[in-house]
Amino acid sequence: MDELWQRYRTFWVPVLYGVGAFLAGLIVVNIVTADPEAGRSQNDARVRTIKNYTAPSPPQVEGARKNRDLLAKEVTRKASLLDQRHGEAEDVVEAFVTQALRAAHLRGSLPADPARFDDDAAAKDQATARYEQRRTEFVQILRLQDPNVGFSRVRADVVTELSVRANRADVDVAPQAESFGLEGITTVDRAELPRRLANLALIATMVDVAIREGVRSIDAVQILQPEVRFAAQGPEAFVAEWPVKLDVTGTPEAVRSILNVLTDPARPTPLGSCILKQTSKRDGLVRAELRAYSIRVRPEVPLGLEGE
């Protein structure tokens, strides 16, 4: 036997190697390759599913297209209503500077309402001239120069005017509210300028009404952390929310006036939690904590819903 193996060794070794390689390949193929019968069954099931689909008719396709266009128009319309710019100006700098100065200098109306100046025509005209001059000046500075410098000047002007008015109206401003929540803004870069201006405009609007309505005191003003809902498929947000909180003490009628301005259907401002607490039964005053949102809506930003 050994003699036969030695004689035919050169023949049997390659044959045995080949048989081993064939068996190994057969094992691998059976392990890796799916059952052909199972694959055919899966394909048959897919074919039946596809055949059960119903292709939309041309009228259905056209209806879907019209619904899409209508939805796009409604999104744009409601976006302009909720967006704090309220269609006043496309440019955020112009829109928010206008709102802040209108609240501080013109006492919330444009053209200025003589009744808000105690029917003093001279005071109304002076305020209007001051508003026009500073509005043009501040918008130009914010557009062309350093945003830090521009924002500081607008903030100082608004805070000074509101503080003088509060003092004349005998409205107490608590020490922590002397700068109306704006003292913490130390630097402003170009990217965050819209948020800072939006908060300034909203604060000026709320404080203006509080002063005009004669609240007893402005207890605190706070700029809260920004919120972003409906994150976009990119660097911009579909809806950005920049909240502020105003605490005042006054009569229920004064607080109601602030809420009426914020919920004006023509210029609505979204509200968060609003808390009223009676200070005492004797004086009839309430302490109000009002949370409101500066809203920036960009209807052109895709939400990526088509991938959901």
* Residue 86 pLDDT: 75
Residue 43 lies in a domain: no
Residue 283 lies in a domain: yes
Residue 293 lies in a domain: yes
Q: Are 168 and 114 in contact (CB under 8 A)?
A: no
* Residue 308 pLDDT: 46
Residue 19 lies in a domain: no
102, 127, 204, 243, 245 from 201: Cα distances, Å: 9, 18, 5, 12, 13
CATH of the domain at 178: 3.30.70.60
Structural domain count of the chain = 1
* Residue 228 pLDDT: 61
174, two tokens: 């608590």
pLDDT in tens, the chain (308 residues): 555 545 555 655 565 555 555 555 556 555 555 555 665 677 667 767 776 766 777 887 787 778 877 877 777 777 777 777 777 778 889 999 999 999 999 999 989 999 999 999 999 999 999 999 999 999 999 999 999 999 999 999 999 999 999 999 999 999 989 899 998 888 898 988 999 999 999 999 999 999 999 999 999 999 998 766 555 445 567 778 889 999 999 999 999 999 999 999 888 898 988 898 888 778 889 999 999 998 877 777 766 655 54
Task: Give the span between the Cα atoms of 218 and 177, in whole angstroms.
Answer: 7
Residue 184 lies in a domain: yes
Residue 91 lies in a domain: yes
Strand 286-297 and strand 271-278: pairing?
antiparallel
Residue 198 lies in a domain: yes
Tell me which residue range forms the domain holding 76: 66-307
* Residue 236 pLDDT: 65
Residue 34 lies in a domain: no
